[in-house]
Each structure stands twice: as structure tokens, then as C-alpha cells.
Chain A
Amino acid sequence: MEFLAYFGGVFEPLSLLLLIGGTVGGLILGATPGLSPTMAVALLIPFTFHLSPTQGLILLGAAYTSTVAGGAVSAILLKIPGAPANIATSLDGNAMAKNGEGARALHLSFLSSGIGGVTGVMLLIFLTPVLASWALEFGPSELFWISILGVTVIGSLDSKSFVKGLLSGCIGLWLSTIGYDDNLGVPRFIFSDSLTGGINIIAALIGLFAIPQVLDMFSKGRQSRDIEQIEVPKHPISKSVGELRRSGRALSIGTIIGSIIGLIPGVGGQIAGLVAYDQSRKFSSQREKFGTGHGEGVIAAESANNAMVGPSLVPLLTLSIPGSPTAAVLLGGLLIHGIFPGSDLFEKHPDVAWTFINSMLIGQILMVIFGIYTAAWAARIARAPMPIMAAAVMVLALFGSYSVQQSMGDVYIMLSLGIGMYFLEKFGFSAAPLVLGLILGPIAEANFIQGSLIANAQNGPFEYFMTGTLNVLLITLVVVSIAYSFWSNMIQGRTSTLAEEAG
């Protein structure tokens, strides 16, 4: 309960001002496509030069938490996930916005973000020493199996057809091999200079999600002038709270999965949302509603991606190992103030460490308040006439993909992937499995190569990859997940054939 003693630091006038500024700024940065949490934190570090370590960290902590949640805004309203963490949110969230329920989607997203986020920070406060040693258990072989577990989700994610899901996953896996391979430095599929660094995930996200949508709007645009004008009814917050209370299962699945995945160094929040989304669908009684604007989808995805924030800092704060790209940037922010994270951080600099953690706790709550306050008018974006909307999304897509690393190459990649995806969607493929393949490919590959190199120096790959409690547990999960997919696919196939026969 030591952390309670340091709450005072958060409520000093300047600190509170920074906290509010960081939260509001973070929401705006997060809602801008192309500005990922990692970039937002990196952009803010120079500002902390002029602040004390504690105040600097308050700003960074608040910005980190709120950019993750802010990414949901563009994912829901424009179907452009601001960062990989928000991919799953766009699946149901955007469908809700199109049904005129944007405000409901935003409410659910901020409320579940808040609940997931506070739980995650609580884990950070109370279980850090236990979790730290647990995070280290994940070596190359375990990370390889985790990414394979992720691959098994691909087939069933946001796709009418299991086979088409797998196929788009494979396209994603292939795209991820472009560029210099990270372990051995071998160039692969580099036909143009812009491909040297491989496909940037943020640029790919924007292209795959936004461009097909823009093309779709343009292709419809001229047909009728008075196309469906979406009504955006006011959505009372009490109704959203009620819905959240009824969706306890999605909320708890999201929070638990987000916390666990956040803890594992090297996997990070990129896949937390997608895995949670998939699992809560598998356990839901209204499975068929997912993807059509179902509240549970948004709740699971958003509670997971904010629950991951707290645990993802455990390896950083205790072992000085940044577990995610954002944590690496935060490490820079700590070092610049002469604070070395490590097992003695909480003894040496309790004021800094606890104030930082407390600010994330308060930041979560502020984020919910400001997020909900803006939800009502942000949701009106869905009412914008289609031509204006299409143009605006196009501008944001170009700006976002260029701003990732000031490179026109990324813009071309974004456009070509987007145009390719437009045609793939016409044939019933969807973007989410493709992106998951793109994210998981490098993790699986790098860890497999690293593991094999280590295994060859030891007793061979079989022993290295197939033995050990954690490995066996993960392999079992992989087998169960594949078996479940087959089983449910067969059941579905049988029921739909029966339905056809009956109909």
C-alpha cells in the first residue's frame, strides 16, 4: 500500500496540469492515424528536458495510456486503426458507427479501456516482483510457440470463410518477409529501395483498412445524391454502463488476456486486442453477431489493449528490459533524468517510480472522462456526406503513412496494399487476418532462427523447442486451438447445409 503515500505528488498543481494536458493531448495524438503510442511518447521526450523527473514521467505516463485508448476513436469512426492495438476495435466498432451507434461504441470503448487499464496498473502495483521473474521465462522457443498460437487465430478472425481467412493470413506472412531479415541480414524481395526496411506496419494498417473503404465510397458516390443519411441519436451514458455490466464475460476475457500478453516481452500490445477479440467470440453465446456491430467485440478489444499498458512496464521497471517499443522509448525518458530502472528502483527513487505509476492510474480515469465527453460530438463524424468523408479519410491516410518516418516510400506501399486489399475484399477476403500475419511473421521467424541457433549449440532443436513445461503447455494450446477451429468449422458447415436443405 506504499503507493498511496505518493498520490500527493500527482495532485500538485503543475503535475495535475501536465496530467490533464498529457491525457487530452494523448487522446488527440492517438486519434490521428499514423501516430502510434510509441511515436507520441518519443515526440514528448524533448519536452521533459525542462521538467523534473517526476513531472516528466507524469506527462509520459498520461500520454502513453491515453494514446492507446485514443487510437480507438479513428478505428471506430473511420475504420483506420491508429496502431496495431486498435485493429480489433475497428471490426465491430466501425460497424456500430455505420449503424449510427458511434456514440455507443465510443462510450463502450472508453469505459472498457478504463476498466482494463486500471486493472493492468493495479497488477503492476501489487504483483511486480512475481510477474517480473515470470516474464523472463519466455525465451525464443516460448515466443515462437506464442506466435504460432496467434497464427491459429487467423483462420477464424473476421472472415466468413475459414479457408479465405487462412489465405489472407498467408499473404500477410509473406509480406512480412520483405526486406532485410533481422537475424541474418539476408535481403528478400527487395525490388525497390522503399522496400529495404520491409513493410512498415503502421503504413500497412492504414492502407489495408482505409483505402478499400475510400475506394468503396468513391465507387458509390455518384450513384445517388441522397444516400442514406445516418441518424445519430443521443446515447445516454447510463445505457452504456448498463451494457458494460451485462458484458462481464467479454470484459474479463479482455482484461485477463491483455494483462498476460502485455507482460510477455517482445509480443506486446500488438496482438492483445486481436487475441482477446477472438477468444471472447469463441466463448460468446451470440457468436454470429460479432463483426456486425456487437458491443462485446469492442469491449473485449479495448479492455485488452489498455490492460496491457501496466504489465508491459513490469520488465522495464524491475529488470531494465523494455518489453515493447513504447517501453523502450520510456526507458530513454527515464535515463535522460538519470534514473536507472532496476530491482532497486522502488527503494532508490520511490517518489519518481510511484508517482509515475499513480499518474497512470489517475490518467486512466481522466481518459475515460474526457473520452466520453468528446464521444457525443465525435460520433457526428459519421453523418458527414460521403464524398467529404472519403476525401478526409484519404488525406488522413496519406498524412499518417508519410509521418511514420517521413518517407514517400511508405505512402506508395500504403496505396498499393490498399488497392490490392480493395480487390481482395471483393472476393471475400478481409484485412484483419492479413495484418495479423504481417505482425506475427517476424516474431515467429526471428524467434525460430534464434532458437535454432541456440539449440544447435545445445542438444538439438527437438529438445529445445518441444520440452519444458511452458513449451508443452503452449503446444497443447496450439493443438486445442486448431482442433477447436476445425470442429466449429465442421459444425457450422453442417448446420448451414442443414439450413439449406430445410430452406
Chain B
Amino acid sequence: MRNWIKGLTMGAAAAAAIATAAWAADFPDRPIGVAVSYGAGGATDFQARIVTMVAGNEEYFGQPMYIVNKPGAGGRVGWNWFANEADADGYMMSAYNVPHFIAQSIKGGVSYSADSFEPVANWGADPAVIVVGNDSEFNTIGDMVDFAKENPGKVTLSGAGLFVGHHIAALQLEKETGAKFAYIPTKGGGAAAMKAVIAGDVMGGINNLSDAFRAREAGNVKILAVADLERNQEFLPDVPTLMEAGYDVDDASVNFRGLMVKKGTPQEVIDKLAAKAPEMFANDRVTKRMKAGGSPVRIMSREEVQAMWKKRQESLKELLAGL
């Protein structure tokens, strides 16, 4: 019995050694996990499932990708888990949300920072937009800012939580205009924040472009401005950017979503993932489903994401310094 166990252990050790050597060459030889730091059915989860659905095709990875949900504390639970417990072998990736995880790491209390992870590629960008109820007296972003300047702290704006894109956009707008808003973080994400706007619990809100687009289609809200560098031609060609409206607010609040691996993952594995992932995101079936779901696609290579992370890190540090 004992010999048998010994043999088995030795065999396993030998197999592990061989596997390590052959690793990078046949990566991936088994399914790849994608940890999503938000609950099943949320926007990040929903999009992650779509963009990974063709991973098993031979022209991409030849192995399927599966989603593991690790929700809680605005994403902190999932990214903490990924930073502390996942293996740095490329078989467990994580979906990132920028600016969320970078802003959280700047505020502290978590075991990760932008340096703990290596980006693979970006699949989507959901800009923050400013919405008001359909019967609101505000018709332009100017109306709202002017009212807020005359009545400091009286304009209530709902958003999906603290240190998410919505909050960042509110901070940027306050900083630029000198007006004071009452930012109301809601529990339950963008959907709950949108409900507060439609029901009239708050005077306005900052929300995801995709959700706001649907709410406007349903006749429930007006969209005053989009916090991005360019208008969104696909869904909201008629809505001006904050820049166009005369406020110097850049795209620091845009919610970028993509895939990342842990620092320490073999370079060959990262290269392979980074080469194939953008092609996978550009697959016809993927983009069609994304468009049907009202989710704006923005594919960026690993190098572009690295530059974007770096830029966000700097601008967020500056913005959050005063808090």
C-alpha cells in the first residue's frame, strides 16, 4: 500500500515537471477560467460570457473559457481572490473593470494594484452618461450645472457606488464646474441607480451608456451628456460630450472591460493570449451579440491597455487625492 502511494506521488511529481516544461508550447491544453468580480447577470458577467463564447474554436484557443463569479464589495472580493489565490499560469484569467480596481487600489485596503496584473486585451468601453427623468426641468447639462451652482448640494445624482466610473465622473464634473452635487451611491449597481432616476427618488443620475440607452428607448429618461472624448455614434449620436458642452471632463470615468492575468505568468503564455484575444473579441458572432445587448465594443491590444492603465493610474491619483 505504502509503495503504491509512493509510486503515485512520484509519478504525479514527474508528470507535473513535464507539464511545466511543455507548458508554454501547448498552452492551452485545458479549459481556461475567467474570474468575474461581479454577480451572474450583471453587465460585466453578461459581456464576459459573450466575448468568451467562441474561445473553443480552433482558430482562437481550441479550448473553451468558463466564467467563475466572485462577487462582493464592489469587485474587491474577486480581485483580492485573484491577486492572492489564483495561479499565475494563464489558466485562470480575470475580467478587469477600469477605473474601478485602480481607484480601489489607490484608496487602499485591498491586496492588489495595477502592478499586480498583466493586461491581455480590452473588449468593451461603457462611458458614463448623465441622465434625468423624462419629466425633469433640465434639458441640457448646462441647466443642471447652473441649478447646482445656485443651489449647492441640492442636486441629487444616483450612481452605482463609490469609486466606480459614475462616481469619478461626478467628481470630475464638480471639480471642473465648481458646483456641488449630492452623489448618492446605490446598492445593487447601475440598475438600482437607474430605478432611482426613473422613480424620481433623485433629480438625476450618472449611469452606463448601455443601460441609459435602453431606458431612453423605453421612454423613461433624457440623456444630457456623455463623459467621453467622442460622441457614441452607434447608440447615441445625438448626445453631446461634456467637452462639447463646454466642460473640460475627459474619459477617465469610461468603464473599460477586458481580460488580465496575474503578474508572473510566463511571457509566452501572455503573448499567446494577447495575440488571440483581440481576434476572438472581433468575431462576427461576438460583435453581433454585443450589439444586440446594447454593449459598446472597443477592442484594444495589450500595449494599448498598458498605456491606458498607466494614464488612469495618474489621473485617478490626482482626482482622489483630495478625498
- CB <8 Å contact, B74 and A185: yes
Give B196-247 interface residues, CB cut-off 8 Å to A: 196, 198-202, 214-215, 217-220
Does chain A have a CB within 8 A of B316?
no
Which B residues lie within 8 Å of A342 (CB)? 214-215, 217-220
Task: Report the separation of the CA atoms of residues A138 and B199 in the bound assembly, to the nearest whole angstrom.
Answer: 8
Nearest chain A residue, comparing its CB with the CB of B107: A185
Task: Report the separation of the CA atoms of residues A454 and B185 in the bound assembly, to the nearest whole angstrom.
Answer: 10
Known: A196-B80, A198-B72, A325-B39. A335 touches B184 (CB 8 A): no
- CB <8 Å contact, A329 and B41: yes
Does chain A have a CB within 8 A of B322?
no
Task: Report the separation of the CA atoms of residues A183 and B84 in the bound assembly, to the nearest whole angstrom.
Answer: 25
Does chain B have a CB within 8 A of A130?
no
- CB <8 Å contact, A46 and B49: yes
- CB <8 Å contact, B218 and A320: yes
- CB <8 Å contact, A139 and B201: yes
- CB <8 Å contact, A340 and B53: no
Known: A46-B53, A319-B218. A179 touches B39 (CB 8 A): no
- CB <8 Å contact, A139 and B199: yes
- CB <8 Å contact, B182 and A453: yes
- CB <8 Å contact, A454 and B156: yes
Residue in A196, A331, A338 with the greatest tally of chain B CB atoms within 10 Å: A196
Task: Report the separation of the CA atoms of residues A198 and B200 in the bound assembly, to the nearest whole angstrom.
Answer: 30
Task: Report the separation of the CA atoms of residues A442 and B186 in the bound assembly, to the nearest whole angstrom.
Answer: 12
* Residues of B in contact with A (beta carbons under 8 Å apart): 39-42, 45-46, 49-50, 53, 68-74, 76-77, 80-81, 84, 107, 109, 111, 153-156, 161-163, 182, 184-188, 191-192, 194-196, 198-202, 214-215, 217-220, 289, 292-294
- CB <8 Å contact, B162 and A42: no
Which A residues lie within 8 Å of B72 (CB)? 179-180, 196-198
Chain A interface bracket (under 10, 10 to 19, 20 to 34, 35 or more): 35 or more
9 A-B pairs with C-beta separation under 8 A = A38-B40, A140-B196, A193-B84, A320-B214, A335-B294, A337-B292, A343-B220, A450-B187, A454-B202
Smallest distance from the beta carbon of B241 to chain A beta carbons, Å? 24
- CB <8 Å contact, B41 and A136: no
- CB <8 Å contact, A457 and B155: yes
- CB <8 Å contact, B76 and A180: yes
* Residues of A in contact with B (beta carbons under 8 Å apart): 38-39, 41-42, 45-46, 49, 136-140, 179-180, 182-185, 187, 193, 196-198, 265-266, 315, 319-322, 325, 328-332, 335-338, 340-344, 405-407, 442, 446, 450, 453-454, 456-458
Known: A405-B70, A407-B70. A187 touches B109 (CB 8 A): yes
Which A residues lie within 8 Å of B293 (CB)? 332, 335-336, 338
Task: Report the separation of the CA atoms of residues A321 and B199 in the bound assembly, to the nearest whole angstrom.
Answer: 10
Smallest distance from the beta carbon of B86 to chain A beta carbons, Å? 11
Which A residues lie within 8 Å of B184 (CB)? 450, 453-454
Nearest chain A residue, comparing its CB with the CB of B41: A329
Nearest chain B residue, comparing its CB with the CB of A42: B40
Q: A332-B42, A406-B68, A446-B187 are in contact. List 4 more A-B contacts (CB 8 A).
A: A45-B41, A197-B76, A450-B184, A450-B185
Nearest chain A residue, comparing its CB with the CB of B162: A185
- CB <8 Å contact, B201 and A454: yes
Known: A187-B109, A331-B41, A450-B186. A136 touches B219 (CB 8 A): no
Task: Report the separation of the CA atoms of residues A321 and B184 in the bound assembly, to the nearest whole angstrom.
Answer: 18
Q: Which of A136, A336, A341 contacts B289 (CB 8 A)?
A: A336
Known: A320-B214, A344-B218. A197 touches B198 (CB 8 A): no
Task: Report the separation of the CA atoms of residues A143 and B40 in the bound assembly, to the nearest whole angstrom.
Answer: 24
Smallest distance from the beta carbon of A42 to chain B beta carbons, Å? 3
Which B residues lie within 8 Å of A266 (CB)? 188, 192
- CB <8 Å contact, B73 and A197: yes
Smallest distance from the beta carbon of A130 to chain B beta carbons, Å? 16
Known: A340-B217, A450-B186, A454-B182. A332 touches B41 (CB 8 A): yes
Task: Report the separation of the CA atoms of residues A336 and B214 in the bound assembly, to the nearest whole angstrom.
Answer: 13
Nearest chain A residue, comparing its CB with the CB of B203: A457
Nearest chain A residue, comparing its CB with the CB of B152: A457
Smallest distance from the beta carbon of A413 to chain B beta carbons, Å? 12
